Amino acid sequence: MAGQATPAIAVLVRQRIDHRVHTYSVDANTPNYGAAVADAMGVAHARVFKTLVTDVDGSLTVAVVPVTGDLDLKALAAAVGGKRATMADRALAERTTGYVRGGISPLGQRKRLPTVIDESVTGHETVYVSAGRRGLQVELKPADLIALTDAVTAKIAT
């Protein structure tokens, strides 16, 4: 695993969480990037989750949704008791999380943000999220993902 250490992987190792790191090669500008990542790894799209940084009433909030759908911003706002959600400014999201777009992980972020994971996550034995760098995904149990991010689950994907 040399050369693959990221803050996300470091959290998993430090907490002794059972996980597997997977590599893939997909151009960052590929349309429907998440689906392309799932295809490159040979994994069902519904098991691969994308991490989106949003702004809910002026506070950054992380949304984790399957690559098969889109984020329902109204549902996200409601899930955290807010009124309005928008996608966060990309530069602010990168600066706050410490990751770059296409490699933002819900784990090991520079600043811990409130996190909501789509409730569909619990329907899988394991799921995949970014390991903190383009080209790396980490596979782990949904319960571990929820616990490590101190997330709430809600129906936030369309």
What pairing do the DSSP bridges indicate for beta strands 49-56 and 85-87?
A: antiparallel
pLDDT of residue 29: 84
Domain-wise residue ranges, the chain: 7-154
Reported pTM: 0.94
pLDDT in tens, the chain (158 residues): 445 689 999 999 999 999 999 999 998 888 888 899 999 999 999 999 999 999 999 999 999 999 998 999 999 999 999 999 999 999 999 999 999 988 999 999 999 999 999 999 999 999 999 999 999 999 999 999 999 999 999 999 99
Q: Does domain 7-154 have CATH number 3.90.960.10?
A: yes
Residue linked to tokens 């994907």: 157
User: Sign of the C-alpha dihedral, residues 85, 60, 130, 152?
Assistant: negative
Task: Tell me the C-alpha distance between 83 and 49, whole Å.
Answer: 25
pLDDT of residue 76: 98
Task: Tell me the C-alpha distance between 79 and 130, whole Å.
Answer: 23
87: number of Cβ within 10 Å: 13
pLDDT of residue 2: 44
